[in-house]
Amino acid sequence: MSAEFDIAETLDVKGESCPMPVVKTKGAIDGLAEGEVLEVLATDSGSMSDIDGWASGTDGVELVDQQESDDVYKHYVRRTE
Amino acid sequence: MSTDTPDAAADETADAPSRAELAARVDELEDALAEATDEDDTRKMSIIATKGTLDMAYPPLILASTAAAFGYEVTVFHTFWGLDILHEERSKKLKLSSVGNPNMPVPNAVAALPGMDRVTTRMMEKKIEDNDTATIEELLETSLDMGVEFQACQMTIDLMDYDENDFYDGVTTGVGAATALQDMADADIQLLV
């Protein structure tokens, strides 16, 4: 699954709750170059739906993958423009 | 009978716009379309924040920062008790009302006793801390960093006798209802909190 893309940067928002995972993801993705993928590590269970909703409603980003393991929600977001 | 058709066609050709005229008209319409779609390119959200209790300070700030993350241009117009959210001192001391909310763990008769608001506020602050929920100050600073425009209603600043320097840096003062209305008219999302 994760072999399809390289991770350019990892953002750790474990412990933080709404709206910070989305807000900080936006801040971090702005620092990436086009085509690069950001990994976001969160413990907020709402982040699965929130990051998905944010990525589909926001220009220039694309949700590549989401995974859950050991109560950590992992999100992979690519900057597309 | 069969001569009608060529005659009609000849008349039409005489009146019809030339190819060059049509091409010019198409260009004109394409420009107008580009301009019209260009103008609405940035999505906008306008929030009116009227409440200053600890619980009611959260929704406008959470929505404002989230909308900014989506790329919205966000304006939050603060009026009446909503001004306290922008007030540097008062925003750190927002209180939760212990009366009037039947979901509170204390009965109203007890909640009305002196000092109870402080107790329930302390309880809420502890929950916020334990859950790592962002503080009001943190949300406000984050939103300001993301370009959210916070406006403090001039009429209520005067009414409450606040000083313009009491607000966070970056807060816009000297605005009124007409400014808010204009923002709402231009916005894709309008909310009164």
Average pLDDT of chain B is: 89
Nearest to B69 among A15, A16, A23 (CB): A23
**Tokens 């929030």 — which residue?**
B47
Containing structural domain, residue A30: 2-79
Q: Assign B109 a pLDDT band (cuts: 50, 70, 90).
A: confident
Which stretches of chain A sit within 8 Å of chain B by CB? Answer: 15-20, 22-23, 25-27, 54, 57-59
B66 close contact with A: CB closer than 8 A? yes
| DSSP state letters, A51-66 | HHHHHHHSTTEEEEEE
Q: Which residues of A touch B132 (CB under 8 A)?
A: 15-17
- CATH number of the domain at A23, please: 3.30.110.40
Q: Which residues of B touch A18 (CB under 8 A)?
A: 62
B122 vs B41, more confident: B122
- Could you give the C-alpha distances from A75 to A24, A42, B137, B158, in angstroms and in order? 13, 8, 27, 47
Model confidence pLDDT, tens digit, residues B68-88 = 999 999 999 999 999 999 999
CA–CA separation, B27 and B32 (whole Å): 9
Active site residue A46: no
Nearest to B131 among A17, A26, A58 (CB): A17
User: What's the pLDDT score for residue B38?
Assistant: 66
Model confidence pLDDT, tens digit, residues A29-61 = 999 999 999 999 999 989 999 999 999 999 999
Angstroms from B65 CA to nearest CA on chain A:
7
- Could you give the C-alpha distances from B86 to A24, B24, B93, B173, in angstroms and in order? 22, 53, 12, 11
Interchain proximity A18–B68, CB inside 8 Å: no
- Please report the ipTM that was assigned to this predicted complex: 0.82
From 3.30.930.10, 3.30.200.20, 1.20.1260.10, 3.40.1260.10, which CATH number describes the B42-192 domain? 3.40.1260.10
Interchain proximity A57–B70, CB inside 8 Å: yes
